[in-house]
């Protein structure tokens, strides 16, 4: 028989799990201490060894409390500073959110405790599989929250070379596998398993280094000159209808020096009113852009008067044509679940423009001077498969955002790091235009070409070369790594009873 199962783990182990979870966010932006992604997962592997399914769940829950309590603390800023909730209420809502995420994180590890955490040979394969399936599950349950995926810690390491093949979840798998290997290394009598799997880990890291040099996609045409407006408008100003005229003048003034660029980008909801209400201004600025042979793309709310649907949109003006309506909306920010009960209770449930409808799937790209542009609005950029579907037929990726909701927290840096991963996965350059940062141009390898200071009124100008073609990740998305993880879990469950019977 295998090792005995510990039914009642000690409180000390839960405390260590909380600690290992709390240090994991330091592996992500803005700190980028990526070795902690290995040490944190190694600690969890050791702490989960031989626990029962129930005990695995609760220990993983404490790890999740640490991870999300430290890693998504910016939610408090959004609720308190911009949702006008009191400090106690904002703290309560943030705590409930963190607890819900910790429960979602812990649930898949119940499977890990059902016989997959007894021997080193099983642990080293089962742990990364369970981890990745858990990240996928968190990315869609209750509309999804794909934040703090383990792979994001490696946008600047050799493992980033795997992004065009396996996406961020593929990198998460390799990271969790490497972390599990480190955990097993400190366990007694595991030299055989460690020596045989260490070679695979080394090959995966060296393979990532080699894959970084492969282009995957090809340049299309000459570099494009690109200008971006970062207005740095406070939310209280932006959504004050009395300020609309001033806002329109600001954009026209800051855009004047950039007219003549191939592309000019304004951020999400740059014009804070419905497009039909400012049609004369849009016609005027479009004519100016045409005169300068410039494609102007702006975020602006739109509406369909026939069915009373409102959309968070991006539209093309001047040399640009087409529009995009945001598909994946943010709960409470862009729509309110259980609206009939929650509307009016507190200001957080009545934020400006929080009654949007989702746009259709498979929308055609916006075009600008024969260049196809795949658009993701704000939160959408964190969904790898959603972006990949639109990126395949595009030459540029564009994400417009309003990270003002994050305040001066770690949220904007985390959001920016995820945007860089989308460029790596699809090997397409990416334009990021935000209200107050981080505004940047990112090349097809995910490297930052140029950026401007956050929280200040600035304009950015630079060049990106459009690319054509698709990567394996663009073709298949996360499906291969998910299938591999599922097959590993099923296969190890099938193998384990037979192994015990032979004993």
Which residues are part of the catalytic machinery? 268, 326, 378
CB 106 within 8 A of CB 57: yes
User: Residue 26: CB partners within 8 Å, gap ≥ 6?
Assistant: 33, 36
Give how far Cα 498 sits from Cα of 52, 68, 114, 323, Å: 19, 38, 15, 57
Torsion of CA 120, 33, 200, 105, to 10 degrees: 50
List of E strands, 322-388 = 323-325, 366-368, 371-377
Q: Cβ atoms within 10 A of the Cβ of 475, count?
A: 11
Burial of 361 (0-12, 13-18, 19+ CB in 10 A): exposed
DSSP 8-state code for residue 83: T
Instruction: Provide the token pair at 39.
Output: 């040490």
Q: Is 23 left (phi over 0), alpha (psi -120 to 50) or beta?
A: alpha
What are 479-486's contacts with CB under 8 Å, separation 24+? 480/166, 480/170, 481/132, 481/166, 481/167, 481/169, 481/170, 481/173, 482/132, 482/133, 482/136, 482/169, 484/129, 484/173, 485/128, 485/129, 485/130, 485/132, 485/133, 485/173, 486/129, 486/133
What angle (nearest 5°) sits at the alpha carbon of residue 66, between those of residues 65 and 72? Answer: 85
Helix, strand and coil percent figures for the chain, each rounded to 5 = 55, 15, 30
Pairwise CA distance, residues 122 & 142, whole Å: 31
Residue 355's SS3 state is coil
CB 285 within 8 A of CB 252: yes
Q: Is the peptide bond before 180 cis (omega within 30 degrees of 0)?
A: no
Pairwise CA distance, residues 152 & 90, whole Å: 28
Task: Please count the residues of the chain.
Answer: 503
């Amino acid at each position: 028989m295998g090792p005995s199962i510990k039914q009642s783990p000690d409180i000390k182990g839960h405390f260590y799990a909380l600690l290992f979870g709390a240090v994991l966010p330091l592996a992500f932006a803005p700190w980028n201490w990526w070795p902690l992604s290995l040490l944190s997962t190694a600690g969890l592997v050791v702490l989960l060894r031989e626990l029962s399914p129930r005990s695995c769940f609760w220990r993983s829950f404490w790890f999740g409390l640490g991870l999300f309590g430290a890693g998504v603390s910016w939610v408090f800023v959004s609720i308190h500073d911009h949702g006008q909730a009191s400090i106690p209420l904002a703290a309560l809502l943030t705590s409930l959110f963190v607890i819900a995420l910790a429960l979602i994180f812990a649930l898949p590890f119940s499977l890990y405790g059902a016989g997959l955490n007894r021997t080193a040979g099983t642990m080293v394969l089962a742990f990364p599989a369970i981890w990745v399936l858990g990240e996928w599950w968190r990315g869609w349950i209750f509309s999804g929250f794909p934040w703090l995926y383990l792979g994001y810690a490696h946008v600047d390491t050799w493992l980033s070379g795997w992004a065009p093949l396996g996406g961020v979840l593929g990198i998460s798998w390799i990271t969790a596998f490497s972390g599990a290997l480190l955990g097993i290394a400190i366990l007694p009598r595991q030299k055989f398993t460690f020596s045989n799997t260490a070679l695979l880990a080394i090959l995966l890291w060296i393979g990532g280094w080699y894959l970084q040099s492969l282009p995957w996609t090809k340049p299309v045409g000459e570099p494009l000159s690109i200008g971006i407006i970062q207005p740095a408008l406070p939310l209280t100003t932006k959504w004050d209808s009395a300020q609309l005229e001033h806002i329109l003048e600001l954009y026209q003034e800051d855009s004047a020096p950039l007219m003549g660029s191939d592309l000019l980008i304004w951020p999400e909801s740059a014009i804070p009113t419905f497009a039909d209400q400012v049609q004369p201004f849009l016609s005027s600025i479009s004519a100016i852009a045409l005169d300068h042979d410039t494609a102007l793309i702006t975020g602006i709310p739109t509406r369909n008067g026939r069915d009373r649907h409102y959309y968070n949109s991006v539209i093309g003006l001047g040399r640009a044509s087409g529009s995009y309506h945001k598909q994946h909306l943010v709960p409470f920010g862009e729509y309110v679940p259980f609206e009939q009960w929650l509307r009016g209770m507190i200001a957080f449930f009545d934020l400006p423009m929080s009654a949007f409808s989702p746009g259709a799937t498979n929308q055609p790209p916006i075009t600008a001077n024969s260049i196809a542009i795949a658009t993701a609005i704000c939160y959408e950029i964190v969904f790898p498969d959603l972006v990949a579907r639109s990126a395949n037929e595009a030459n540029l990726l564009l994400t417009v955002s309003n990270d003002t909701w994050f305040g001066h927290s770690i949220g904007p840096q985390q959001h920016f790091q995820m945007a860089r991963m989308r460029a790596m996965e699809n090997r397409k350059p990416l334009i990021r235009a935000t209200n107050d940062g981080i505004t940047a141009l990112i090349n097809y390898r995910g490297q930052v070409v140029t950026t401007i200071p956050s929280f200040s009124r600035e304009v950015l100008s630079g060049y990106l070369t459009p690319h054509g073609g698709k990567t394996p990740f663009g073709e298949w998305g996360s499906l291969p790594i998910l299938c591999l993880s599922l097959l590993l879990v099923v296969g190890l469950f099938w193998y384990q009873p037979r192994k015990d019977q032979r004993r």
